[in-house]
Amino acid sequence: MKEKIAITAIASISPLGNSLGEVWENYQSDDHCFSQQSFNGEKAWAACLPEHLKSKVDALRKSDTKYKKLDDSVLFAIHSARNAIRTAGWKPADNFGINIGSSRGATSLFEKYHKEFLQEKKTTTLASPTTTLGNISSWVAHDLQTQGPEISHSITCSTALHSVLNGIAWLQSGMADKFLVGGSEAPLTPFTIAQMQALKIYAQNRQSGSYPCQALDLQKTENTMILGEGAAMACLEIGAVPNALAMIIGLGYATEPLVHNVSISTDALCFQRSIAMALGGVLPEEVDVIVLHAPGTIKGDQTEYRAIKKIFSSKTPFLTTNKWKIGHTFGASGMLNIELAVLMLQHQKAIPVPFIKKQYLPKRIHKVLVNAVGFGGNAVSILLESPV
């Protein structure tokens, strides 16, 4: 990287809350956020927004007639984006850039309109504009009234971290001074759940134990991925600034050749490359914590762990993840990982996975590595450092 990049604000809406204080408080508990939900009459695990946040999203939907027909993925993004720029002190006149992505986009609306089409043989006027992938960044830009560049994209589950890469590229090119980046996902729909179940990676209702998602448990004998919903945004500015929450000091990315549509190599070559690139000249022993992608699948967790061991060997840092608690939010998950990393840096406290034993908590946290990967073996690693 040419210059360090400051994260001057981060905001989210998830099963953990919608303020950094609320999110951190919930991370202090060993309770998970999963409940049994009905999808087309079938029960499945899911991590939903709590009722007080659903009410806020509903109020946002009703606040503007144009917002009434928007998908939750767009409303989650608008809600989080407002909070992020307010915290950073940005104004619309700053003409900051926006890059917000989603793996699935407006899947709830798409399923609704497709069902209506099958029944009626026609659809409504808004079926197309409200389900396009560019829907998210465009509506956020409209809501915030900024005139800067706005970009939407989908790179499966590494989408949010790819938005960080894009924001950094714009900042370091000199084409923008500030960039709002993140991801949003509202995947708790019958068809999306059915897709994950068809891949045989979703947690089964018959699973015993107090934690239905066993993310980072390398001894598990069945796949335990569970979906969650939410969005997270970060405000990026170039160089050291007084209000920085954390500094981005390294970035890495890699894609490995596909053997199968959802494949990843046994020792995650893509992660080995992205981690090595993110470290740059930083020594492995300087990294205090790694926030893993760790989706809760047997292969996904094990291959990422093997990649980490290849790079860090006996100097492996403290390892953690949040998917045991809030599930996999697809394209938003990487930014929710960054949120956890920033909070651990701020509070100088590591958040362990409660069912992982024999882990020694770091005495201090100065550097945190954050991972994400998606279908297609596209990995991203971001290295964060405390601003002081």
- Both structure tokens of 39: 């999808």
| Nearest-5° Cα angle at 153, 148 to 155 | 145
At residue 134, the pLDDT reads 82
Backbone torsions φ then ψ of 44, nearest 5 degrees: -155, 155
List, as one string, the DSSP characters of 6-35: EEEEEEEEBTTBSSHHHHHHHHTS----EE
Residue 262 clears pLDDT 60, i.e. is over it? no
pTM over 0.95: yes
Q: What percent of the chain has pLDDT over 90?
A: 90
Backbone torsions φ then ψ of 289, nearest 5 degrees: -145, 145
List, as one string, the DSSP characters of 291-320: E----S-HHHHHHHHHHHHHHHGGG--EEE
For the stretch 44-75, pLDDT in tens is 999 999 999 999 999 999 999 999 999 999 99
Q: Which helix (H) or strand (E) holds 231?
A: strand 230-238
Domains in the chain, CATH or no CATH each: 5-238 (3.40.47.10), 247-385 (3.40.47.10)
Going by C-alpha positions, the residue among 244, 237, 218 that lies closest to residue 387 is 244
Rounded to whole angstroms, the Cα distance separating 70 from 76 reads 10
At residue 133, the pLDDT reads 81
Backbone torsions φ then ψ of 253, nearest 5 degrees: -155, 155
When pLDDT is cut at 50, 70 and 90, the band that residue 208 belongs to is: low
For the stretch 268-286, pLDDT in tens is 899 999 999 999 999 999 9
Residue 260 clears pLDDT 60, i.e. is over it? no
At residue 267, the pLDDT reads 80
For the stretch 79-103, pLDDT in tens is 999 999 999 999 999 999 999 999 9
- Both structure tokens of 109: 């609306």
Residues 101-123: what's their mean pLDDT? 95
Going by C-alpha positions, the residue among 331, 309, 327, 328 that lies closest to residue 319 is 309
Backbone torsions φ then ψ of 49, nearest 5 degrees: -60, 140
Using alpha carbons, list the distances in angstroms from residue 185 to 41, 60, 304, 342, 368.
Answer: 23, 17, 23, 21, 24
Asked if 204 contacts 45 with a C-beta cutoff of 8 angstroms, the reply is no
Residue 291 clears pLDDT 70, i.e. is over it? yes
Report the mean per-residue pLDDT for the chain: 95
Burial class (CB in 10 A: 0-12, 13-18, 19+), 352: middle
When pLDDT is cut at 50, 70 and 90, the band that residue 205 belongs to is: confident
User: Residue 78's Cα: distance from chain center in Å?
Assistant: 16
Rounded to whole angstroms, the Cα distance separating 107 from 156 reads 14
Query: 195 - beta bridge partners?
Result: none
Asked if 18 contacts 12 with a C-beta cutoff of 8 angstroms, the reply is yes
- Both structure tokens of 199: 């891949």
